[in-house]
C-alpha cells in the first residue's frame, strides 16, 4: 500500500508538471479523484486489507489525497498567474494618446445669464409666463400709457410690421416687433385677477445697432400686483435680486427716471462688479452700473386692465439679459453675443 | 445730486482742460533769429516777468497778446514744454496756435488773444474757458428741464435755496409793436398761443465772443447776433424763439394755419419741401415762412441787411410739431422742446428777455408792448394730494409738512387744504404732472430714493403652470448640450432671399422699416440661420459642427385660427450637424463625417428625455431635405418635426457644405406629448430568453416594417426587438438585404419554457415569410448564388 500511494504521488506530480491548460489539470484530477480514479480504487481496496493494517493504510491514502489536492490547487494557481502575467505583458497601450474625441455642448451666455436671473426670481415666487413678440401697438404702447404722439415713443425706436404680410388676423392698429417685454404685463393682468407675481423673459427689438445696442436683445419683465404693494418692497426685491446675482456685497442704488407705465419710476444701478465702486472702464469711472428700469405700475395701466387702482398697486421692472451676460462674463461688445462663433460660445 | 434727482449727468467736460500752464503774454519785441531765417526771437511780458521765446510763426507783431505755454506745462496734445536752446538762442516756453491749444483748427499761425486780456492771466480765464459743461440725459417727460433756468430750479429745490430770476426791463416807445404787424390764428387747436415783439434798427453782425463761446459750449454754432440771441434765450429759458426780418414779412400779417394743397417751403437747410395739410405753418400775407416749431424758411430770414426784427415766441401743439418733424425728417432744438412741452405762461416774459438782450447786443429799440394772440387761455391744472398717498405708495411715512416743503420748492402752489388732503396748482412749466402719483414721485425724487427703506418681498405666492413650461425648455437645452451641441442665438429676422432659397418663404412676415433688407423677414424656420452659422464656421476652418437654437418662429395666420396675437409664433428647436463626428480629426475615430443616423440619434435622445411615447419616423419628401434621406417625426397623427440631410438644391443655393444634417422640432407639440413619470415599473423578476433572428427581405423594405411585424407576431411573450445588424451583399442576391434582430422574450409571472419560446419564434418566422416574402438567413429556402 505504501508503495502504491508513493507511485500515485509520483505519477500525479509528473502529470501536473506536464499539464499546461486548465483542461489538462482537470484530466489529472479526474484520473485520481474521479469515480473510477486511482484514489477511489485504493479506497475500495481498504476492505481487503487486514484490520490491523487498515488504519495505517487509510492514513496513507488520506495523506496522498491531501498532497494531490494541494498539488492540483497549486497547479491551477500557477496557471492563473501565468495567464495574468501574459495578459499584463501583452496588454500594454499608450496612455498618452488622447481619448476618443467627443463634442462638448455649451450653453449660450445669454441663456446662462437668463437661467441665473430666472432662478433667482423663481425662488422669490415669480411665475414664468410668455407673450408674443409680434405685438399690436395697443399692447406695446397704448395700454402702457404711451400717448400716441408723445416723445416717450422715441425712447424705443420701433420696427413696424408690413401689414400686407400679416394675413387677416384682424389686429387693430399698427403691428410692431415688441420693443420691450412690458406688453406681457398687460396680457397677464387682463387674463388674471390680482395678486399676480410673474416674470416674462423673451426677445425684444429696437431699431438700433452698435457696440452696446443690438437690434434684438433679451429682457426679463417682472410684475407684482397686490393690495398695498409699496416702492419700499420694490427696493427690497431688486436689492435682494442684485445681491443674489452679483454677490452679497453688491450695493444697489435707485434713481428717479421716467417710463410712461410706471409712476414713480426708478433706474436701478448696482455697484460696479469689476471695480467694486472705485471707478473703471466698464462703469465709465462712476462706480455704478445701470441694470434695471423699474417703478410702481401707473394707475392708468392698472385701470386699463380693469384693476381698481385705489385698492391695488404694483411694481414692475425690466432687465436686459445681454447686459447681465456682459457683466457676468466681462464681454465688451454686445455683437459678440449674436455672431454665434463657435470659438466664442465654447468659452462658456 | 442731479443724477439722483432723475436728471442723469452723462458727461462732465472741463473746458480748457490741459491749458493749465498756458498764460497770456504780451509781445514786447520781435527780432530776427541771428542763425535762422525762418525763426524769430520774441521778447515777452508774462505779467511782471520778461522772457525770450524762439518762434517760427510770422502772424504777429510787437504789442499783440499771445498764448504762452510755460516751461513745465503740458499741452492738450500731450506735448511737454521745456526750456531749450534753438540754434544758439535760449527759449523759455512755446507760443501756441489754436490747434496746439486744442481750441480750434488754426495751425498756420499763432493764436492771438483778444486785447482785453492782461499779460499773466491764465489763458483759460482770459477765454472764459474756466468752466465746466455738464451733459444731462433729460427724460422725455421733463421738457421743463431742457434749459439752464429749469436745471437751476431743480438745484434750488434740491438744496432748499431760493431761485433768483432776473427781471427783464420793459420798454416804452411812442408807437406800439401792435401797429407794425397783425397776428391771426386760424388753427387754434394746433397753435395755442402766439406772441411777438418788434425791435427796430438793429445792426445785424457777428455776436460777441462770450456769446459765441457759450453757444459753442452748448453745441450750437454762432450765426449772427440776432439768431444767436434767440438761441441763447432758448437755452437759457427753454423756449424756442424765432426772429423774422420784419420788412420781408409781406402784408404786415402773421397767419397761423395748416398748409394748403400743393404748398411748398424752402427751409433754411436749402431743401424745397412739399407741405402736408397736417403741417402747421407760420405764414405772412403771401405764404409760409416757417414750419411751426420745426424750422424756418428762407423768406424773411434775418440777414446782414435786416433793419427791423419781429421776435416770435409761441405755443404749438406738441403732437403737431412731432408729426411735422417726423414727416420732414427735421429734428431741431426747437422741435425737441416743443414736443416735450414748453411753459405757455412764460412766453411774454421770455420775449421781454430776448428783446432786451437783443438791444444790448445788436442795438436798436424795442417797441412797447407784446402782441399776444391767445385764443383759449389754458387753465392751470390742479391735483389733490392725500396725506396718506405718499406713505401708501412709498412704504414710508411722509408728513404733510415735508410734502408741502418739497412741492413749494418745486413751484407748486397750495390752493386749498382739507382735513386729510391738499389741492395743489401745477406750475405751467410742469406739463408732466397730472395725477396724485406724479406728486408722490416729486416728493420721493427730491427727498431722494435713498431715503425710502428696503422692505423684503412679502409672503410667498402659489405658482402654477409656469414651472413645467420652463422646465421642458431646460430639459431640451440640457439634452442638446449633453449631445455635444453648442447653443446659438440668432436674430429673429433674416434675409427674405435666404428664406426663399430654403423654401421657407411662405407666410413670412416682413418688417416695414428694417435695418437692412438682409434683416427684413421674420424667420419661419430656424434652419436658414443655423446654416448661416455653419457657413461662418467652415470659413475659419471648423472640421465638424454641432449647434442648436431654441427660439420662436413666426408666420402669418388667418383670423379663424383663433388666438389673440397678431401672428402665429411657435417655439422651435433646431439642430445642425456637419463634418467630423467629433468635431476634429482623431486618431481613433474611423468615420469621416456625420450622417443621418447621428441626427436621428439626437432626435431620439430628445424624445426619450421628454418620455414621448411611440414616436414614428416616416420617410419625408420635401423641398428642404434630400428626399431619400429625410424623415418626419410623428406621434399618432401629430407631426413633431423633420430631420434629414439638406437637399442638394438648397445646399447649393445657400452655398452650404455637403453633408449638412438638420432637424427642427415643434416644441409646443413636444411639450404636449412629454410625459412625466407617474408610476415606476417593477423590475422583471423572471429570466428573459434572448434569441437572434436574421431575415432576408427586399432591400427597399423598411426595417421598421419588419420590426413592427415581429412585435405583432410575438405579442404576449416578445418584449423587445432591436435591429443589430444590416447586411447587403452578392451572397444574398440582387435587391436583397439581411436584417438581424435581437429578440427578448419574457413573461411577468414565470420562467419561460424552451418550447413556448420556440413556438412563438416559429410564428414570427412564418409571418415574415407570408407577409413580407422574407426568409431566414442561412435557411434552405434562401436564394443561393
- Taking only the tens place, the pLDDT of each residue in B325-365 is 999 999 999 999 999 999 999 999 999 999 999 999 999 99
Chain B residues inside the 8 Å CB shell of A215: 491, 493, 515, 519
Would you give the end-to-end CA distance of chain B in angstroms?
Answer: 96
Residue B190 at interface with chain A, using a CB cutoff of 8 Å: no
Query: How does pLDDT run across A246-257, given as a tens digit for each residue?
Result: 999 999 999 999
The pLDDT score that the predictor gives to residue B468 is 57
A224 in contact with B at a CB cutoff of 8 Å? yes
pLDDT at A42: 81
- H/E segment holding residue B584: none
Q: Specify the pLDDT at position A169.
A: 60
**Chain B hits for A167, Cβ within 8 Å:** 507, 556-559, 567
Subunit contact B490:A133, Cβ cutoff 8 A:
no
B435 touches chain A (CB under 8 A): yes
Does A263 lie at the interface with B, CB-CB under 8 angstroms? yes
Chain A contact for B558 (CB, 8 A cutoff): yes
Residues of B in contact with A198 (CB under 8 A): 466
Share of chain A above pLDDT 90, in %: 54
Closest residue to A342, CB basis, from B393, B463, B537 = B537
Question: Could you tell me the three cell numbers for B131?
Answer: 468752466
The dihedral region occupied by B769, where left means phi > 0, alpha psi between -120 and 50, and beta the remainder, is alpha
Rounded distance between C-alpha atoms, residue B394 and residue A231, angstroms: 5
Query: For B519, which residue in chain A has the nearest alpha carbon?
Result: A215
C-alpha dist (Å) from residue A112 to A221, A326, B617: 17, 11, 33
**Residue A170: predicted pLDDT:** 63
What global pTM score does this model have?
Answer: 0.84
Per-residue confidence (pLDDT) for residue B396, from 0 to 100: 92
- For the stretch B92-121, pLDDT in tens is 888 888 888 877 777 778 888 877 788 888
Q: Does A313 touch chain B (CB under 8 A)?
A: yes
How many residues appear in chain B? Answer: 785
Cβ <8 Å between B441 and A224: no
Please name which of A251, A248, A293 lies closest in space to residue A270, comparing C-alpha atoms. A251
Residue of B nearest to A216 (CA): B491
Those residues whose C-beta lies under 8 Å from the C-beta of residue B739, and which sit 6 or more positions away, are B694, B695, B697, B703, B706, B723, B725, B726
State the pLDDT at residue B560. Answer: 61
Predicted local confidence at residue B781, as pLDDT: 45
How far is B275 from chain A, CA to nearest CA, in Å? 19
Which is nearest to A327 in space by CA: A281, A293, A285?
Answer: A281
A-to-B residue pairs, Cβ atoms closer than 8 angstroms: 282
H helical segments located in A169-230: 183-191
Chain A CB within 8 Å of residue B547 CB: yes
CB atoms near residue B133 (< 10 Å) = 12
Check CB contact under 8 Å for B489 and A159: no
Which of A285-294, A304-313, B462-471, B637-646 shows the lowest mean pLDDT across its residues?
B462-471
CA distance B649 to chain A (A): 25
Q: Chain B contacts of A162, Cβ < 8 Å?
A: 509-512
| Euclidean distance between CA atoms A22 and B50, whole angstroms | 116
C-alpha cell at B735: 435587391
The Cα B555–Cα B567 span in angstroms is: 6
Please state, as a whole number, how many other Cβ atoms lie within 10 Å of the Cβ of residue A93: 6
Nearest 5°: the CA angle B228, B138, B216 is 25
Return the C-alpha cell found at A110: 445669454
Q: Which of B567, B231, B432 is nearest to A257 (CA)?
A: B432
Contact: A97, B455; criterion CB under 8 Å? no
Q: Is it the case that residue A45 has pLDDT exceeding 90?
A: no
- Test mutation, B486, B516, B582, B602, chain A, max A CBs within 10 A: B486
**Cβ-defined contact of A126 to B461 (cutoff 8 Å):** yes
Of B486, B509, B510, the CB nearest to A346: B486
- pLDDT value of residue B562: 65
pLDDT given for residue B39 in this prediction? 87
| Nearest residue in B to A203, CA atom | B492
Cell of B142: 421733463
Whether A174 and chain B come into contact, CB under 8 Å, resolves to no
Tell me if B393 and A175 make a contact (CB, 8 A cut-off).
no
For chain B, say whether A190 makes contact (Cβ under 8 Å): no
The pLDDT score that the predictor gives to residue B466 is 52
* 8 Å CB contact of A132 and B544: no
CA distance B411 to chain A (A): 19
- Between A51-90 and A2-18, two packed helices, what is the crossing angle to 10 degrees? 10
* Predicted local distance difference test score (pLDDT) of residue B663: 98
Cell 450750437 locates to: B220
User: Smallest Cβ distance to B455: which of A97, A152, A233?
Assistant: A233
At residue B388, the pLDDT reads 93
**Which residues in chain A touch residue B480, judged by CB atoms under 8 angstroms apart?**
105
Mark the ranges of chain B whose per-residue pLDDT is less than 50. 465, 780-785
Could A203 and B533 be called an inter-chain contact, meaning their C-beta atoms sit closer than 8 Å? Answer: no
Q: How confident is the model at residue A276 (pLDDT cuts 50, 70, 90)?
A: confident
Neighboring chain A residues of B522 at a CB cutoff of 8 Å: 134
- Residue B259's CB: how many other CB atoms inside 10 A? 23
Distance between CA atoms of B360 and B358, rounded to whole angstroms? 5
CB contact under 8 Å between A105 and B487, yes or no, is yes
The predicted structure's pLDDT at residue B430: 95
- CB B569 to CB A209 under 8 A? no
Q: What burial letters (b/e) apply to B26-36, b meaning 16+ CB within 10 Å? A: bbeebeebeee
- Would you call B323 an interface residue with chain A, using a CB distance cutoff of 8 Å? yes
Segment A189-195 shows an average pLDDT of 93
Most B-contacting residue of A96, A231, A334, A345 (CB-CB within 10 A), to test interface: A231
Instruction: Please measure the distance between the N-terminal and C-terminal CA atoms of chain A and give it in whole angstroms.
Output: 84
Amino acid at each position: 500500500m505504501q508503495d502504491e500511494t508513493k507511485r500515485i504521488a509520483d505519477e500525479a506530480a509528473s502529470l501536473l508538471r506536464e499539464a499546461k491548460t486548465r483542461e489538462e489539470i482537470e484530466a489529472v484530477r479526474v484520473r485520481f479523484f474521479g469515480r473510477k480514479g486511482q484514489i477511489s480504487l485504493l479506497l475500495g481496496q481498504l476492505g481487503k486489507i487486514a484490520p490491523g493494517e487498515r488504519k495505517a493504510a487509510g492514513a496513507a491514502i488520506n495523506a496522498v489525497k491531501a498532497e494531490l489536492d494541494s498539488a492540483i490547487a497549486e497547479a491551477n494557481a500557477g496557471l492563473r498567474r501565468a495567464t495574468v502575467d501574459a495578459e499584463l505583458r501583452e496588454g500594454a497601450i499608450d496612455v498618452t494618446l488622447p481619448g476618443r474625441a467627443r463634442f462638448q455642448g455649451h450653453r449660450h451666455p445669454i441663456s446662462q445669464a437668463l437661467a441665473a436671473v430666472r432662478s433667482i426670481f423663481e425662488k422669490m415666487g415669480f411665475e414664468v409666463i410668455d407673450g408674443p413678440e409680434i405685438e399690436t401697438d395697443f399692447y406695446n404702447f397704448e395700454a402702457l400709457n404711451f400717448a400716441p404722439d408723445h416723445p416717450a415713443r422715441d425712447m424705443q425706436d420701433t420696427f413696424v410690421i408690413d401689414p400686407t404680410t400679416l394675413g387677416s388676423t384682424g389686429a387693430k392698429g399698427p403691428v410692431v416687433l415688441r420693443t420691450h417685454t412690458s406688453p406681457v404685463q398687460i396680457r397677464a393682468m387682463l387674463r388674471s385677477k390680482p395678486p399676480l407675481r410673474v416674470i416674462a423673459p423673451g426677445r425684444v427689438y429696437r431699431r438700433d445697432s452698435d457696440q452696446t445696442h443690438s437690434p434684438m436683445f433679451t429682457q426679463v419683465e417682472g410684475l407684482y400686483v397686490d393690495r398695498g404693494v409699496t416702492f419700499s418692497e420694490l427696493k427690497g426685491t431688486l436689492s435682494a435680486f442684485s445681491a443674489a446675482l452679483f454677490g452679497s456685497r453688491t450695493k444697489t442704488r435707485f434713481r428717479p427716471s421716467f417710463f410712461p407705465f410706471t409712476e414713480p419710476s426708478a433706474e436701478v444701478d448696482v455697484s460696479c462688479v469689476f471695480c467694486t465702486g472705485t471707478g473703471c472702464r466698464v462703469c465709465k469711472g462712476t462706480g455704478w452700473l445701470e441694470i434695471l428700469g423699474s417703478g410702481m405700475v401707473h394707475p392708468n395701466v392698472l385701470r386699463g386692465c380693469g384693476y381698481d387702482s385705489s385698492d391695488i398697486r404694483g411694481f414692475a421692472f425690466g432687465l436686459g439679459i445681454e447686459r447681465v451676460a456682459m457683466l457676468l462674463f466681462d464681454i465688451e461688445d454686445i455683437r459678440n453675443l449674436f455672431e454665434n462663433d463657435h470659438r466664442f460660445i465654447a468659452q462658456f | 445730486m442731479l443724477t439722483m434727482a432723475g436728471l442723469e449727468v452723462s458727461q462732465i467736460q472741463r473746458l480748457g482742460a490741459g491749458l493749465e500752464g498756458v498764460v497770456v503774454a504780451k509781445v514786447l519785441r520781435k527780432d530776427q533769429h541771428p542763425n535762422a531765417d525762418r525763426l524769430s526771437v520774441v521778447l515777452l511780458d508774462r505779467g511782471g516777468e520778461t522772457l525770450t521765446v524762439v518762434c517760427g510763426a510770422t502772424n504777429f507783431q510787437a504789442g499783440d497778446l499771445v498764448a504762452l505755454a510755460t516751461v513745465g506745462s503740458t499741452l492738450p496734445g500731450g506735448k511737454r514744454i521745456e526750456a531749450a536752446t534753438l540754434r544758439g538762442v535760449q527759449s523759455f516756453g512755446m507760443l501756441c496756435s489754436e490747434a496746439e491749444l486744442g481750441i480750434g483748427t488754426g495751425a498756420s499761425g499763432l493764436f492771438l488773444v483778444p486785447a482785453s486780456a492782461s499779460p499773466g492771466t491764465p489763458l483759460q480765464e482770459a477765454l472764459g474757458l474756466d468752466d465746466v459743461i455738464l451733459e444731462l440725459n433729460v427724460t422725455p417727460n421733463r421738457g421743463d428741464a431742457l434749459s439752464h433756468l429749469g436745471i437751476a430750479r431743480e438745484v434750488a429745490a434740491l438744496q432748499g435755496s431760493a431761485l433768483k430770476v432776473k427781471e427783464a426791463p420793459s420798454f416804452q416807445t411812442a408807437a406800439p409793436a401792435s401797429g407794425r404787424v397783425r397776428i391771426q390764428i386760424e388753427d387754434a387747436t394746433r397753435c395755442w398761443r402766439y406772441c411777438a415783439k418788434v425791435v427796430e434798427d438793429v445792426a445785424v453782425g457777428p455776436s460777441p465772443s462770450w456769446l459765441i463761446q457759450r453757444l459753442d459750449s452748448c453745441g450750437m454754432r454762432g450765426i449772427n447776433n440776432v439768431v444767436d440771441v434767440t438761441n441763447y434765450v432758448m437755452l437759457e429759458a427753454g423756449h424756442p424763439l424765432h426772429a423774422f426780418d420784419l420788412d420781408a414779412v409781406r402784408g404786415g400779417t402773421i397767419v397761423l394755419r395748416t398748409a394748403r394743397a400743393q404748398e411748398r417751403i424752402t427751409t433754411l437747410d436749402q431743401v424745397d419741401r412739399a407741405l402736408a395739410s397736417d403741417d402747421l405753418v407760420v405764414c405772412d400775407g403771401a405764404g409760409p415762412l416757417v414750419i411751426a416749431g420745426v424750422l424756418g424758411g428762407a423768406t424773411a430770414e434775418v440777414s446782414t441787411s435786416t433793419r427791423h426784427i419781429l421776435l416770435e415766441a409761441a405755443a404749438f401743439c406738441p403732437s403737431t410739431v412731432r408729426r411735422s418733424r417726423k414727416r420732414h425728417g427735421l429734428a431741431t432744438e426747437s422741435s425737441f422742446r416743443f414736443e416735450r412741452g414748453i411753459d405757455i405762461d412764460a412766453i411774454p416774459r421770455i420775449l421781454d428777455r430776448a428783446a432786451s438782450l437783443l438791444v444790448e447786443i445788436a442795438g436798436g429799440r424795442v417797441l412797447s408792448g407784446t402782441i399776444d394772440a391767445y385764443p383759449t387761455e389754458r387753465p392751470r391744472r390742479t391735483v389733490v394730494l392725500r396725506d396718506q398717498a405718499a406713505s401708501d405708495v412709498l412704504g414710508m411715512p411722509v408728513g404733510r409738512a415735508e410734502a408741502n416743503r418739497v412741492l413749494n420748492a418745486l413751484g407748486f402752489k397750495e390752493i386749498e387744504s382739507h382735513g386729510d388732503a391738499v389741492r395743489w396748482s401745477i406750475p405751467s412749466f410742469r406739463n408732466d404732472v397730472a395725477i396724485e402719483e406724479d406728486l408722490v414721485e416729486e416728493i420721493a425724487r427730491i427727498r431722494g430714493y435713498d431715503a425710502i427703506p428696503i422692505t423684503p418681498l412679502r409672503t410667498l405666492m402659489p405658482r402654477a403652470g409656469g414651472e413645467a413650461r420652463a422646465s421642458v425648455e431646460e430639459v431640451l437645452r440640457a439634452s442638446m448640450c449633453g449631445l455635444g451641441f453648442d447653443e446659438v442665438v440668432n436674430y429673429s429676422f433674416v434675409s427674405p432671399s435666404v428664406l426663399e432659397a430654403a423654401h421657407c418663404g411662405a407666410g413670412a412676415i416682413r418688417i416695414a422699416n428694417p435695418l437692412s433688407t438682409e434683416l427684413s423677414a421674420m424667420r419661419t424656420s430656424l434652419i436658414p440661420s443655423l446654416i448661416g452659422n455653419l457657413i461662418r464656421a467652415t470659413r475659419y476652418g471648423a472640421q465638424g459642427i454641432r449647434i442648436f437654437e431654441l427660439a420662436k418662429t413666426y408666420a402669418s395666420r388667418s383670423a379663424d385660427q383663433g388666438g389673440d396675437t397678431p401672428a402665429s409664433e411657435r417655439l422651435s428647436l433646431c439642430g445642425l450637424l456637419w463634418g467630423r463626428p467629433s468635431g476634429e480629426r482623431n486618431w481613433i475615430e474611423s468615420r469621416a463625417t456625420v450622417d443621418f443616423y447621428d441626427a436621428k440619434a439626437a432626435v431620439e435622445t430628445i424624445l426619450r428625455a421628454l418620455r414621448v411615447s411611440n414616436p414614428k419616423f416616416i420617410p419625408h419628401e420635401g423641398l428642404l431635405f434630400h428626399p431619400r434621406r429625410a424623415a418626419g417625426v410623428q406621434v399618432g397623427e401629430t407631426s413633431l418635426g423633420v430631420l434629414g440631410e439638406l437637399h442638394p438644391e438648397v445646399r447649393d443655393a445657400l452655398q452650404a457644405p455637403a453633408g449638412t444634417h438638420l432637424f427642427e422640432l415643434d416644441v409646443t407639440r413636444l411639450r404636449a406629448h412629454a410625459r412625466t413619470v407617474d408610476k415606476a415599473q417593477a423590475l422583471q423578476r423572471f429570466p428573459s430568453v434572448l434569441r437572434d433572428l436574421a431575415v432576408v427581405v427586399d432591400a427597399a423594405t423598411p426595417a421598421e416594417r419588419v420590426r413592427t411585424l415581429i412585435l405583432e407576431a410575438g405579442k404576449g411573450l416578445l418584449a423587445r426587438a432591436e435591429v443589430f445588424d444590416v447586411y447587403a451583399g452578392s451572397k444574398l442576391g440582387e435587391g436583397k438585404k439581411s436584417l438581424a434582430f435581437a429578440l427578448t422574450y419574457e413573461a411577468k409571472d414565470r420562467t419561460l419554457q424552451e418550447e413556448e419560446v420556440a413556438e412563438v419564434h416559429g410564428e414570427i418566422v412564418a409571418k415574415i415569410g407570408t407577409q413580407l416574402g422574407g426568409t431566414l438567413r442561412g435557411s434552405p429556402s434562401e436564394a443561393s448564388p
